Amino acid sequence: MTITLKFCGGARTVTGSTHLLSADRSNVLLDCGLFHGRRDEFYSVNSSFSFNPQNLCACILSHAHIDHCGNLPTLIKKGYRKHIFATPPTKELCRYMLPDSGYVQEEDVKFVNKINRGRGVALRYPLYTKQEAQNTLKYIRSLEYHSRFTLSKEIDLTFFNSGHILGASVPVLDVKTGQGSMIRIAYAVDLGRYRMPLLRDPESPKDIDYLIIESTYGGRSHASIEVAEEELGSAINRTVKRGGKVIIPSFALERTQLMVFFINRLIKRKKIKKLPIYVDSPLAVNLTEVFRQNWEYFDESYKKAFLDEKDRLGFDDVTYVTSVDESKRLNEEKRPMVIISASGMCENGRILHHLRNNIENPHNTIVVVGFMAKETLGRRIVERERVVKIFGRPYHLNAEVITLNAFSSHADKDGLVDYIKSLGSVRKVFIVHGEEEQSEALRDNLKKLNIKAHIPAKEETVFLGKKR
């Protein structure tokens, strides 16, 4: 009997993380993420699996980002009926992330069908609906960090903290190979950074034989977070002086809560004057509530800050906008303010309305705080294209644009190498979740340290050991 690992998604690309560990009759799925691509590709890649979901004995979810959890409803639709294991905060975050994903797909399909109506094009259907996403939630079972759980006769699971976002984990799988020996596999996809506010540092489990690791920033370094905070403060001050608005496109999960925290800290440290801060994303409002409820998972120093009534991490000093009318009213207000809104890459959501209304005014500033993939409006703004299209109409990009990548929740090239070194002697590292040049840069850095590394292709299967 052999122990194998199959890379079913998120290999040599960033999205769609899905990997299959097999030992004897135990097949365990690691993540089931959505692949992001153009509409047709999105549907064809996400709607089928190269394994039978009914043959799985467990599914393990590392964290609540959609490129890791977003295809779980398809797994259920295809007949998976066992547990999906996740930490308690991840389970809570999924209560909002998955139905939101279903809703976004339903809306997209409605939009496309409306355009195609009368052209004789077949109707499209969403990959899954909001209701189907909700049906998935009952299969998620929470398991605390550091508590070892027996998934099957062959495989045990333990979650360690990955420091990436609230609730994120490095799942460690102990595969029994007979006569008291075993193979230990760690899954660090995604991996966070050391010394980030709110979050605990990534933990290094011991005696790891094989490591699967992300490489989003395999060849790039982040500036220090302190410098980014200073730059954010200066940008807000400049904009206020001009009488403009600060628009921050942000992912609803984690980045929004971090931005609120940093702006609040700048006010407390008197680096900027108090000004109205709006979080305009119904999803972000719900996710912030999960942060409030799960304060015990914060880093020790922030746990204390959160419990101090006078310092609620800034979450209380913000106006959370849920209704469309309130959102539209923000456009009529002329005073300086900060608007944080989704989506993070400016592809859909309310951020599009704020950009449309503010992008042509040179008094305003767009602050980019996250990764912008190629071909997105966000990337065009980062590259300062003179004219950009929003809702199909051209707009002049006259607003100031600043990019602060240092707020990333992914380890950079040194962070990844330091983490791998902290695990001791690993037999082999499998590099996934990165654009090819980033994965190659990490592999080359590991080679210099005589650490064996491999960049698997999608659907490649590797042999990890034999059961005696």
Binding site for Zn ion (CB under 5 A): 65, 190
Least separation, in Å, of the C-beta of 360 and Zn ion?
A: 33
Measured from the CB atom, the residue of 132 and 190 that comes closer to Zn ion is 190
Per residue, what are the HEC states of 161-182? ECCCCCCCEEEEEEEEEECCEE
Indicate the SS3 state at residue 50: coil
Least separation, in Å, of the C-beta of 65 and Zn ion?
A: 4
Q: Which two tokens stand for residue 386?
A: 């003179």
Measured from the CB atom, the residue of 278 and 430 that comes closer to Zn ion is 430
- Comparing CA positions, the residue from 122, 9, 148, 111 lying closest to residue 69 is 9
DSSP secondary structure string for all residues of 129-169:
-HHHHHHHGGGEEE--BT--EE-SSSEEEEEEE-SSSTT-E
Measured from the CB atom, the residue of 106 and 190 that comes closer to Zn ion is 190
Indicate the SS3 state at residue 277: strand
DSSP secondary structure string for all residues of 72-112:
HHHHHHTT--S-EEE-HHHHHHHHHHHHHHHHHHHHHHHHH
Number of Cβ within a 10 Å radius of residue 135:
17
Measured from the CB atom, the residue of 231 and 435 that comes closer to Zn ion is 435
Distance CA 266, CA 271 (A): 5
Per residue, what are the HEC states of 112-123? HHHHHCCCCCCC
Measured from the CB atom, the residue of 277 and 369 that comes closer to Zn ion is 369
Measured from the CB atom, the residue of 188 and 232 that comes closer to Zn ion is 188
CA distances from 42 to 70, 73, 415 (A): 12, 15, 31
Cα 179 from chain centroid? 40
Least separation, in Å, of the C-beta of 68 and Zn ion?
A: 6
Least separation, in Å, of the C-beta of 31 and Zn ion?
A: 10
Least separation, in Å, of the C-beta of 324 and Zn ion?
A: 29
Number of residues written out for the chain: 468
Measured from the CB atom, the residue of 183 and 213 that comes closer to Zn ion is 213
**What is the DSSP-derived secondary structure letter of residue 53?**
G
Q: How far apart are the first and last CA of the chain?
A: 7
Measured from the CB atom, the residue of 190 and 347 that comes closer to Zn ion is 190
Number of Cβ within a 10 Å radius of residue 227:
12
Q: 430: number of CA atoms within 13 Å, CB side?
A: 27
Least separation, in Å, of the C-beta of 440 and Zn ion?
A: 21
Least separation, in Å, of the C-beta of 226 and Zn ion?
A: 23
**What is the DSSP-derived secondary structure letter of residue 240?**
H
β-pair type (393-396, 387-390)? antiparallel
Which residue number has the CB closest to Zn ion?
A: 65
Measured from the CB atom, the residue of 61 and 399 that comes closer to Zn ion is 61
Measured from the CB atom, the residue of 165 and 446 that comes closer to Zn ion is 165
Burial 232-268 (b: 16+ CB within 10 A, else e): bbebbeebbeeebbbbbbbbbbbbbbbbbbbbbbbbe
Least separation, in Å, of the C-beta of 306 and Zn ion?
A: 23
Asked if 27 contacts 46 with a C-beta cutoff of 8 angstroms, the reply is: no
Indicate the SS3 state at residue 55: helix
Least separation, in Å, of the C-beta of 190 and Zn ion?
A: 4
- Comparing CA positions, the residue from 86, 54, 72, 87 lying closest to residue 17 is 72
Least separation, in Å, of the C-beta of 74 and Zn ion?
A: 19
Least separation, in Å, of the C-beta of 26 and Zn ion?
A: 26
Measured from the CB atom, the residue of 164 and 380 that comes closer to Zn ion is 164
Least separation, in Å, of the C-beta of 63 and Zn ion?
A: 6
Measured from the CB atom, the residue of 37 and 276 that comes closer to Zn ion is 37
User: C-alpha angle with apex 283: 282 to 284, nearest 5 degrees?
Assistant: 90
